[in-house]
Structure 1
Amino acid sequence: MTNVSATNEKVELRRYLFSLAERSLEQAGWRVERIPGSGKGSVRRIVKNDESHVVSIRTTQDTWIAFPRTSDDNGWVTLDDVDFVIPVTVDDRDDPKWAAVYMVEAKEMRERFDRAYLARKAAGHTVQAGRGVWVSMFSTEDPKIVTSVGGGIAVGKTPLLRVKISGSEEVEDKPASEPMTAATSPLTVAEAKKRLAQTFGVDPEKIKIIIEA
């Protein structure tokens, strides 16, 4: 049976994360506009003086973001049509305390997703058109782990906006004082399970982690 309460919480969190992206852009001096007839709910036009760009806002509640391949398998849906990607991520899937907004050039993002796609194909994975290819915001690439290729999107980047989302009061930290590094990027429980599962060749759901404070 579906946990309706949990589902509603995820929907509300997604809306909140999306609103953080728009807020961070506005605080950076951009005017955020919908694009009539685009048919893509995540796509916005941002304008500052004479500068204008098309961006895709992607929210993630597990620190991974995805773009699907086009039907002809020659590119990426949405990603090929924008100038920047605005990923909004929580710090931990199971117990999120912070959310951060980044602004990444689409060229860099396409290069990351191209590497991820080619690595999966080379490893014999089936990548269906229309299905998302997932890339991690925080986990850096490890040539021994196919699914890590393309990862580390947030590493080395200072977020546009970082907000504490746990508790009853929102606290902003804008921008974060330091860019994310491989050493300081958070290792979530979900990410730890994925890495251990890949190491031992088991399903991530079979991994149990006990943390003692």
Structure 2
Amino acid sequence: MGIADTSIAAASAAFSGFAAIAAWRASKEANDTASSVAQIERDRWHKELTPQLRLKLEAQQGMLYVRFDGPASLGKIDVQLTVRDDFDRSRVPALPGGATPEQIAQTIWGPYRFRPGIDGADQLGRTVTPPPLEADDRTRLAIDPSLRPSWYEGADGGRRWRDQYRTARFRLWADCEAEGHRPWRLSFEVPQDGAWAQTGRLVGT
């Protein structure tokens, strides 16, 4: 083989190598694009299937009503409700002689809590898990006014605590699960006037 033939063979091999790399990159980019499109479609479908919940307070009865309006295609859904504080108090610095972070965490900073030990509520009244719901099902959960913390002292301590949340909304997380689907986390702010709160903001999307 002459020098010219050798050069041609080398160039041909190099070209083949570059072509193979280019083909691999094109294939990878196509796969990445397909994966991205598929993920976008899955996210869109997940959002469209967001459980439609309605929550309503009947404070005089000591009840929170929860209704699942659909979509029926989800079948049964499991819902865990968690009372949210008025704001994230884990960011509040502890003051000398004041409440400890543990005491703050053990306080429900809002107007209501779930009745401890009833409907599966925990002992703090922070979370509750009602029975599974199907479309158009409704359930009710026992609630109580939140307890004032021990450092709201004095004869007017209870009044100050009640006044703090007299018109505040009952803030909740609703974590929903349905078989074959990724979970949903919804946020609710339920008014105290007896109006229904519709499905809240979808969190984490």
TM-score for both structures, normalised by structure 1: 0.24
RCO comparison, higher one (Cα < 8 Å, 6+): 2
TM-score for both structures, normalised by structure 2: 0.24
Larger Rg over CA atoms: 2
